[in-house]
Amino acid sequence: MARPTKQKMKQCIIILAATVCAATGSLYAADSKPDFVKDIQPIFQQSCLKCHGPEKQKGGLRLDSKGAALKGGKDGVVIVPGDAVKSDMYRRITLALGSDDVMPSKGDLLTKAQTDLIRDWINQGATWPEGSVIVAAAPEKAEPVVLDIKPTAAEVKAVAKLEAMGVAIRPVAMNLNWHEANFRQQGTNSIDASLAQLKDVLSLVDLNMSGVRFSSAALSNLKGLTNLTHLHLEHTQVNDAALANLEAMSQLVYLNLFDTPITDAGLEHLKGLSSLRNLHLWQTKVTDAGVAELQKALPKCNIVRGFDLPPVAKKEDKK
């Protein structure tokens, strides 16, 4: 039998290599089959349902259920199972930015990885589990509009006095008149006189009174500070009755009462603070029942109690 020439051996090696590569590619394609729930549904949810969901059907097209998606819209079928090239959906999501028919028409275009997933999903039969309905993603919260405030003559005068008293009071950002005040440097001295000036600083949004000394009566100066969003009262002797001065603070989102003598009676004054999102109650005298009642009134608030250590037994008790 004639031995194969080097040329023929080279051809055989090339053919064999091509066959192996083709087989490997087929295996890879099978392994990389898009999963509807994991790969396709999130894309539809984030980028398609705003215009083609239960609330709005642009062009008469809905993409939140299998039946509606395969039915198509006013312009006909958009998904042809097994053929992405003939599917108008794939054509539209691969158009260039600014094209009349590009999808999505608003927001960011799909990435190549996303369009490739949809292409492969359609080519492999557009499998959509029966009964699977896509729920529209929750709308993103718009960025809050930061409106400035014009300080009154009384506020300008009060800020100057507070600075002269050694109270750190400053704007929260450049070119804004909103202020934050920090009393922590006042030490053990009573800050009642400073709080009397504070009542005129209506632009105050952040107030830190951690570890300072004041009377319950002086806390009434906070009543009118309805723009306040953050309030630190930790390590103070604030009592239940004094918390009544916070009831009108509808913008308050953070309140720290760590290491204070507050009880369940004080929590009653906080039930109307609907904007409150973080409340610290570690080492207070509140009970589980009191916190549970407050949580019902403020379901969106994160109430932090830390952990309570049992009292250390005295040597006499051990004996």
Q: How many CB atoms lie within 10 A of CB 295?
A: 15
- Asked if residue 145 is part of any domain, the answer here is no
> Which two three-digit tokens encode residue 66?
């299998």
pTM of the entire structure? 0.53
User: Where a domain ends, among 77, 110, 137?
Assistant: 137
User: CA-CA distance, 226 to 249, in Å (whole number)?
Assistant: 5
Same domain (yes/no): 158, 132: no
Residue 255: exposure state from Cβ atoms within 10 A (0-12, 13-18, ≥19): buried
Q: How many CB atoms lie within 10 A of CB 57?
A: 16
Same domain (yes/no): 164, 259: yes
Same domain (yes/no): 86, 168: no
In the chain, the largest separation of any two C-alpha atoms, in whole Å, equals: 113
- Asked if residue 26 is part of any domain, the answer here is no
Structural domain count, the chain: 2
- Asked if residue 23 is part of any domain, the answer here is no
Same domain (yes/no): 196, 303: yes
> Which two three-digit tokens encode residue 263?
């009880």
User: Where a domain ends, among 73, 106, 137?
Assistant: 137
Same domain (yes/no): 108, 164: no
Return the residue matching tokens 């108008």.
88
- Asked if residue 9 is part of any domain, the answer here is no
N residues, the chain: 319
> Which two three-digit tokens encode residue 316?
């006499």
Residue 211 sits in a domain of what CATH number?
3.80.10.10
Same domain (yes/no): 271, 171: yes
Same domain (yes/no): 46, 97: yes
187 is in which domain, residue-wise?
A: 153-307
User: Where a domain ends, among 111, 137, 163?
Assistant: 137
- Asked if residue 2 is part of any domain, the answer here is no
Q: Would you state the torsion angle of the CA atoms of residues 16, 22, 27, 29, taken in this order, to the nearest 10 degrees?
A: 170
Same domain (yes/no): 158, 127: no
Phi and psi at residue 184, to the nearest 5°? -65, -25
Same domain (yes/no): 117, 159: no
Same domain (yes/no): 178, 212: yes
Phi and psi at residue 94, to the nearest 5°? -105, 5
Same domain (yes/no): 78, 161: no
Count of alpha carbons within 13 angstroms of residue 36, beta-carbon side: 17
Q: How many CB atoms lie within 10 A of CB 180?
A: 18
Q: How far is CA 259 from CA 42, 254, 280, 285, 311, in A?
A: 45, 16, 9, 9, 16
Helix (H) or strand (E) holding 180: strand 179-182
**In a structure prediction context, what are the per-residue pLDDT tens digits for the chain, which is 319 residues long?**
455 555 555 555 444 444 444 444 443 344 468 888 888 988 998 888 888 888 888 889 988 888 889 999 998 999 999 999 999 999 999 998 778 888 888 778 889 889 999 999 999 999 998 877 787 665 544 444 445 678 889 999 999 998 888 888 888 877 778 889 998 877 777 889 989 999 999 999 999 999 999 998 999 999 989 899 999 999 999 999 999 999 999 999 999 999 999 999 999 999 999 999 999 998 999 999 999 999 999 999 999 886 544 444 444 444 4
User: CA-CA distance, 257 to 234, in Å (whole number)?
Assistant: 5
Whole-number pLDDT of residue 6? 53
Q: What is the DSSP letter of 223?
A: T
Same domain (yes/no): 173, 245: yes
Q: How far is CA 173 from CA 146, 170, 177, 198, 246, in A?
A: 11, 9, 8, 20, 25
